Structure 1
Amino acid sequence: MNFSGSGANWFLILSLILGSAALAFLGDVLGFRYGKQRISIFGLRPKYTSRLITAITGGVITVIVLGVLSAFSQDVRTALFSMNYIQQQLLDLRLQLNQSQEIADQAQEALAEQQARMQVTTASLDLARLDLDSLRNDRLLLEQEKSDLAASVQGLRDESEQLKQALHTMRSGSIALSANVLLAQGAFEPGTSEEEARKGLEDLKQRARVAAQVRMSELLPSTPRSVSVTFDPEEEASLLKRIEDAPDRLYVRAISRENVAFGEEVGVRFEVGRSLLLYSDGDVIYRRVYNAQAQDFDAEEALHSFLRDLKVSAIHEGVLPDPATNNVGTLRGEEFFDAVETLRSIHTPVIINGLASGDIHTEGPVNLRLSFQE
C-alpha cells in the first residue's frame, strides 16, 4: 500500500500536535503547582496528586484528539464506534466473496463446458456444411444425370420411332412390290432395227418405272415421286441383240426381281419369248350353257365361275398369265355388273360367250367382251 502526503490535512495534524503539547504543558504546570502547594486530591499525597493530574491531562489530551478526529473524519468515527459492525460487514463480504468466487468458478466451469459444446457444435456445423455442400453437388450430379437420361430417353424414343417405321417398312415391304410382278410388257415385230429396238425398250423401261411408282403410291401416298428402278445392263444388251432382226414376233416383259420395301430401289428383270397370235378379234375364247330358269340360279356367282373357267381355257391355249397373280386379264367393273343384270333378266337356258376384243397374242392380256344366247 502506498501513502501520499499530498492529500493529508496538515493543518489538522499541526493543530493536534500543538494542542496536545499545550495540554501536556498545562498538565505539567498544574501538577507541579499542586505538588508544590501540597494539595491533596481524594486524600492522596501531593506527589501522587501531581501524577494523577498529569495522567488526567494525558487522558484529556487523548479525548480531545479523538473528539477532534471524530469531528473531522467519518472514517475515525466509524473505526471508533462501528468496529464490530465493520468486522461483521467484512465477514459478510468475505462470505459473499467466497460465494462469488464459487459462483465464478462454477460459471468458469459452465463457460468451459459451453465452450466445449460450442466447439462440438461448430464441428457439427462444419460437418453439416460439408454434408450440405455434398448434397448440393449430388443434386447437381443428379440433375445432370436426369438431363442425360432425358436426352437418352428422347434418343431411345426417336430410335423407337425409327424402328417402328423400319418395322412397318419391313412388314409392308412385300406389299409395296412383290417379286415377279408384271410391271410392263411390249411386243417387237420381225425385222425390228437397232434404233427401233432401243426406242421400244426405253419405252418399256419408262412404263415399268411408272407402274412401280403407281403401285407404291397406292399403298403409301407419301411415297416419293421418283422411285429408283434399276435394270441389268448386260441383260439389256443381250435382249437388244435378240430383238434386232428377229425372224419372229417377240414379246418382252419387265418383271420385278424380288420383294421391295418402301424406299428401296426396284430391280427389274426381262422375260422374252415368241409372241404367237392365239385369238383374232371376235374369236370365241370360251363358252358355257347355264340354266338361268333354275330357282337356285345366282347370276353373279355364275358369271364369276364363267370367268374362272375362261382364264383356265386361255392359259391352256398358251396365254401367259401374270407371274404374281396368275391372271390373264381384267373385266371392267361396270361391264361385269351390266352382264350380271342382263343375266338376271333371262329366265331360260342361256349360252354365255367370251369373245376376244381385239387380237390376243401369247403375252396377253385377254381383252374380253361377253354375249348371251338364249
Structure 2
Amino acid sequence: MQGVLLILYMLFVSGLIAVVGDRVGYRIGKKRLTWFNLRPRHTAVLVAVITGLSISALTLGTLLLLNRSLSEALFSYTNQIAQAEQELRALNRQKALLEAENATLRAERDRLKLDLDQFRSQQSAAQTRLSEVRDQLAMALQERQEAEAKLAAANEQLAQVQPGLERAQAELEAVKAEVEAARKMIADLESQKQALQLDRDQLERSLDTAQTALSQLETQKKQLEQEIAQLNQLAVRLRRGELAILAGEVLATGVVQTPAGADPAAVRRQFERVLAQAEQRALALGSRPIPPLENAILIRREEADQALEKLKEPGSWAVRILSLTNRLKGEPVPVLVEIYPNQRIFARGSVLAQGVIQPGLSENEIQQRLLELLNQANQRSQAEGLLSDPITGTVGEFSQVKFLEVVQHLRQSTTPLDVKLVADTDIYTAGPLRVSFLMAEASGQQGTTPVQQAGQIGG
C-alpha cells in the first residue's frame, strides 16, 4: 500500500513539475534567450523540458535513496513472485518424497506382519513339539518307576536286564536334552517376539510422524497457493490502476458558522455544502454510486444526525470528511465526519519559523535550509492544532515555482539574509496555512519580499 501511495504521489508531482517547467520556459521565452542558435520559443521549450527532467530525476532519486521499501517494491516484486513459486515447487517435491517414504513404510509393515504370522506358526509348532516331549517324558518316568519296582524282584536277572537298563537311561538323557533344547528354543522365540513387537511399535510411530508431517505440508501448500493468488490479484489491480481512494484521505474540509439562535435549517445547508464538496471530490477520483443510491459517498444516518447536533451548538466549527477504507474505481466511498472547534491559531503577520542564510551556499544547501524552515512551520502548526492530512502528516503544499524564486534570490545575495516564514492571513483550525518568505539583511535592514505565496504550506 505504501508503494501505491508513493506512485500516486509521483504522478501528482510529475504533473506539478510539468506546470513548473512550462512556467519557467514561458519566462525564458519572454526574455527572448537563444541557445545553440535555436529560436527563442524553441529555447524556452528546451529549458522547460530540461527543468522538468532535472526536478523529476532529483525527486525520484531522493525517494529511492530514502525509502528502501519503495526500491524493493519497484524492482524486486517479480523476484518475490518467482521465489514463492520456487518454494511451492520445493514443497511439491517434498510431498512426493514423503509419499514414497509412506509407501515404503507400508510395504515394510506388510512384510513384518508376514514375519509375525510365520513366527506365530513356528511358536505353535514348538508348543506342539513341547507337548509331545512332555508326554514322552511322562512315559519314560513311568517306565523308570516300573523298572525300579521290578529291580528288587529281578536282581537275579540283572546281568540280562543291565544292557536294557543302560539303553533306557541313554534314551532318558536324550529326552532330557531334547526338553532343554525345546526350552531354549522357546526362550529364543520369546525374545524374537518381543523384538518384533518393538520394531512394529517403532514403525507405527514413524508412520504416524510421517502422516503428521504430510498433513502439515499440505496445509503449508494451500496457504502458499492462497498467498500467490492474492499477490497475483493485487498485481493485476496495481497494473490496471484500479485503486482510486485511500483510507483516511481527506475528501472535503469546510467551516460551519453557528451563531447564537441560528436556524437549524441554515446549519444543515452549510453541512450539506461540505458533503457536496466531498461528493464532487469522490466523483473526480473515480468513485461512483451504486443504484438505486444517488451519492458516491456513504454516511450513516446516525453519524450525520450526531454531526448536525454538534454543529447546532453556537460557535465556529471545522468540518472534515474522510474516507474510511481504500476504494477501487467505480465503488462508493464510506466516509467519516470529523468536527473540531475552528479557532484562530496564528494572526496575520505571525512569524512561524526564522533562520539566517549565509551567502555562497549551493542551491541544494539553500533548498535544504528552506525545507527545514517549512518543516518547522508544519510541526508548529500541528502542535498548535492546525488540521493536517492524516496520510501525509502535512498541512498543505507550497508552490514550487515560488520556492525556486526564493532559492535563486538567496543564491544571488552577497550578504547574510534573515529569512522569516510569515502568515499571510489569520490562520484557523480548518486551514490552510498561507505563508510568505520575508528576507532582510542580517544586520536588521529590511530587504525585499520576492515571494508572496499563492498556495499552501506543507512540511
Using the size of structure 1 for normalisation, the TM-score is 0.49
Task: Find the structure with the greater CA-based Rg.
Answer: 1
TM-score by length of 2: 0.41
